[in-house]
Chains A and B, each alone.
Chain A
């Protein structure tokens, strides 16, 4: 079990730039999730994939956000035209149906 892997661990960018994060889930997990965690808060659900299908998106996921899981394995989360309010830790998790979610170490995004 190699765990959930996220890349990069840290991203610093200027306001208005686009950023993309990658998540590699545990290989046998067909479910993949993205969460956002701001300072002093618990994670908030963003979106969820079962295999390659994106089955739910939170209202937190504005039009500037897009997530993909093209082959049902790794996933990417892209934020276009970043804003100050996008600064947060972006967490990826994976699981099998009916089993607990296993989290990666996250990507910390800082907007200058």
Chain B
């Protein structure tokens, strides 16, 4: 079985400042990793995915995450945040061979202030 720990429940940050959201996973098998974003009263939107290949993955809106197998981490970063990045962010993991069951962390609430 896989599990995820998101180390920060709340991250306040000023507009245009950088942000890092930490995610560590546990698994005895190869994994796929994801970051999802959730806005109030909405479902989850896929932000980033790591399936294989390059360990650094990027999104179209400036987020990036790096898969670190030795540290079992998949931290999310953005060099300069906007007010519109205020949301809840979830890290999720699934086994590469049983990729039907996502295990989510408890989420990190990012609040961007002007």
Q: Which residues of A contact B (CB under 8 A)?
A: 4, 6, 31, 33, 35, 40-45, 48, 50, 55-56, 91, 93, 97-98, 100-106, 108
Contact = CB atoms under 8 A, between A and B. Distances in A.
Given A98-B51, A108-B41, 17 more contacts: A31-B100, A35-B102, A40-B107, A41-B107, A42-B4, A42-B104, A43-B90, A43-B102, A56-B100, A56-B101, A91-B44, A100-B49, A103-B36, A103-B43, A103-B45, A105-B41, A105-B42
Contacts, number: 54
Interface residues of B, number: 22
Interface of B: 4, 34, 36, 41-46, 49, 51, 90, 92, 99-107
Main SS at interface, chain A: strand
